[in-house]
Amino acid sequence: MAKRAHIIVIGGGFTGAALAIQLARGAVDVTVIEPRAAPGYGVAYSTTDPTHRINVPA
């Protein structure tokens, strides 16, 4: 029986969340370490608007 890989992603911003989604689609167990309640927002240009997802200024 093959053992599944387990990958820990540090940071649940846009890139970390996207990476975790892609890894979870494969034969990999994923844990995301993120202190905020909602993943995917990022820090660099954080906003409370849920439609803003990319860490670059408009």
32 — pLDDT class (breaks 50, 70, 90): very high
The pLDDT, as a whole number, for residue 29 is 95
How high is the pLDDT of residue 54? 63
Any residues with CB less than 8 A from the CB of 39 and at least 6 apart, and which?
12, 13, 16, 17, 20, 32
Mean pLDDT, residues 15-28 taken together: 91
User: Does the pTM exceed 0.75?
Assistant: no
Residue 45, pLDDT > 60, answer: no
Alpha carbon distances (Å) from 39 to 12, 15, 18, 33, 47:
5, 10, 10, 10, 13
Residue of 20, 58, 17, 57 lying closest to 41 (CA atoms): 17
User: What's the confidence (pLDDT) of residue 42?
Assistant: 63
